[in-house]
Structure 1
Amino acid sequence: MDLEHRAIARLRLAAEMSEAYYGKPLIITVSGGKDSDICLYLAATSGIRYEVMHNHTSVDAPETVYHVREQFRRLELAGVKCTVNYPTYKGVPVNMWMLIPQKLMPPTRTVRYCCSVLKESGGAGRMITTGVRWAESASRRTKRGIYESMPHDLSKKVIINNDNADTRLLFESCKLQAKRVCNPIVDWSDYDVWSYIHAERIPINPLYSCGFHRVGCVGCPMAGRRMRLFEFGRYPTYQRAYIRAFERMLEERVARGKLDSTWRAGTTGEDIFRWWMQDRNIEGQMKIEGFDG
């Protein structure tokens, strides 16, 4: 079975399980990136019943927002239900600029609280798909699967990497979870992705033609320093927004009495931004304490 047929088979099984377990269509999550664009195309090709959801991160590039809006316009004309998930934190609507002061630290490679709050909170109580792929990182190869059950207690998460009848039995043996996930192209390589996009002429985010090899949140630490410098050069408004958020973060640390042990007196939002961009400590600051997990 080739990659396309295998991915479609996974989507069809996920759609069947969604109807059986939740009584609702499968949700295709779209981020504005190429991988979710492929999942959306495959869903339309498969003939399944599905809905589409986008998580509003507040730090997507303008081109990404316009790309998702255009996708929604076309889908809604075709009768597909499309929704935008606006994230909350501790029961209150939140965006990146509000979240940083509440967490008392910038998002980093090792502490990516922004992902769980802004990108992964949607789809509770539903069966969803994502464009996650093993080729994207070593961590994803060990922590992500073709099918996943996502209980509130993630230590009880179940990962399944079978394309056979055992999949249904394993899922049926689980109690109904807060969310179940299907990653239909999890085993696709970068070459597979680009070959399929070109072969099927799938419309993708225009940023891929503007020097971007990845499309995600502007300033994401996982993008690497060079790419982040490129992003902030293109979108200086986001740099200023991060600096203002870091200023409010420092003010919140002072208010909670958590400044002296971590950031020396006189530290500014720009100081934090420079440290954050270099992935190393600024002078006089050795570690981040008081993180509000």
Structure 2
Amino acid sequence: AGSENRMIVSFSGGKDSTATADVVVKALGNPYITHLFGNTTLEFPYTTEYAERYRKAHPMAEFRIAQNTDQNFYEVCKEIGPPARMMRWCCSMFKTGPITRVLNRKFGDKQILTFYGIRRNESVSRSKYSRVTENTETVKIQKQTVASPIFEWKDLDVWLYLLSEKVDFNDAYRLGYDRVGCWCCPNNNLRAQFLSRIYMSEQSEKWRTFLVDFARQIGKHDAEEYVDSGKWKARQGGNGVAAAGDVKLKFTNCTS
């Protein structure tokens, strides 16, 4: 494949990747560019609806989906405990692992250029990135150059672009969410949890019940308080972890 065919837009269904995709397609004049949607299986229903809407609105683009079909999130949680802020095992298992497998199947060992919706002011860690990054420790998937066209944009810039260019976007933002990653992510704020109890009541109750049961299993006498106060997000160490060999095997399978 020529270099034109070795360019990817990383599409998450969030506002930043939506703006990035629109900028890239228009700037390159290439409606055929590959979009790769990493479906973590923990997406907001609004995100999967939007991804399908986007695909239908861009029929010339190659739209690929990367998804872990080998592991179930709840089953893994039962074995090694739920993810926490400092132990986000879910990212490699349900996001970067499946994405890597799709890229390896499509491109093998060829160098690729990936456009990401990373922005400097999203977090302290991302502020250390560069607008264009070669194969360094900041690139989780090897043999790619990462370009971040909206790296210097603020939230306001993203919204002004989407609204002025009349770009369709994820309906979750209209409900009040300010980010649309995994709906049960330990990094979600209290407002997101509150909104999910309203708009995703069944999933939210299932997740809370699981967390309370897990808290009891690891010996928390105030299990409900432990969950509702958000202390489960700060968990560190091996509480709730099954045999270490099983955990290692899971990680090996998902990132190969």
| TM-score bracket for this pair, using the shorter chain length | 0.7 to 0.9
2:137 is equivalent to residue 157 of structure 1: yes
- Contact kept? 1:95, 1:118, Cα under 8 Å: no
Is residue 206 of structure 1 aligned with residue 171 of structure 2?
Answer: yes
What's the offset of the Cα at 1:227? 2.2
- The residue identity in structure 1 corresponding to 2:132 is Y
Secondary structure of 1:223's match? coil
- Measured after TM superposition, the shift of residue 67 of structure 1 is 0.6
Query: What is the aligned partner in structure 1 of residue 23 from structure 2?
Result: 42
Structure 1 residues 287, 149: closer, same or farther in 2, change over 3 A? same
**Residue type of the alignment partner of 2:230:** D
The reply to whether residue 148 of structure 1 matches residue 133 of structure 2 is yes
8 Å contact 1:30–1:40 — kept in the other structure? yes
CA RMSD of aligned residues (A): 3.2
Residue 127 of structure 1 corresponds to 113
Query: Secondary structure at the residue paired with 1:84?
Result: strand
Match of 2:238, as an amino acid? E
Give the partner amino acid of 2:226.
W
Work out the percentage of aligned pairs sharing the same amino acid.
21
| Equivalent position SS for 1:221 | coil
Q: Give me the whole-angstrom Cα distance separating, in 2, the residues matched to 1:65 and 1:198.
A: 21
Structure 1 CA distance, aligned partners of 2:72 and 2:12?
16
Q: CA offsets per residue over residues 133-155 of structure 1, 9 Å max, x none?
A: 1111112112x3223345xxxxx
Consecutive unaligned residues in structure 2, runs of 5 or more:
105-111, 242-246, 249-256
Structure 1 unpaired stretches of 5+: 1-17, 151-155, 160-175, 252-258
Answer yes or no: is 1:87 the counterpart of 2:68. Answer: yes
Cα distance in structure 2, aligned partners of 1:277 and 1:120: 29
**Amino acid corresponding to residue 16 of structure 2 in structure 1:** D
Q: Provide closer, same or farther for how the CA distance between residues 243 and 85 of structure 1 changes in structure 2, counting only shifts above 3 A.
A: same
Structure 1 residue 72: Cα displacement: 1.0
Q: Which residue of 1 aligns with 2:253?
A: none
Letter in 2 for 1:105: G
The code of the aligned residue for 1:214 comes to: R
Look up the match of 1:163: none
Q: Greater relative contact order (Cα 8 A, min sep 6): structure 1 or 2? A: 2
The 3-state SS of whatever aligns with 1:222 is: coil
* 1:84–1:50 Cα change, 3 Å: same
Give CA deviations for 1:95-125 in whole Å, capped at 9, x if unaligned: 42233234x1221222222223223331444
CA distance in 1, matches of 2:191, 2:116: 27
1:35 is displaced (CA, Å) by 0.6
Which residues of 2 match residues 1-293 of structure 1 at below 5 A?
A: 19-20=2-3, 24-46=5-27, 47-48=29-30, 50-76=33-59, 79-87=60-68, 93-102=70-79, 104-121=80-97, 122-123=99-100, 124-125=103-104, 126-142=112-128, 144-150=129-135, 157=137, 177-243=142-208, 246=211, 263-264=218-219, 271=223, 275-280=226-231, 288-289=237-238, 291=241, 292=247
SS at match of 1:29: strand
Q: Which stretches of structure 1, 4 residues or more, deviate above 3 A after TM superposition?
A: 123-127, 176-180, 243-251, 290-293
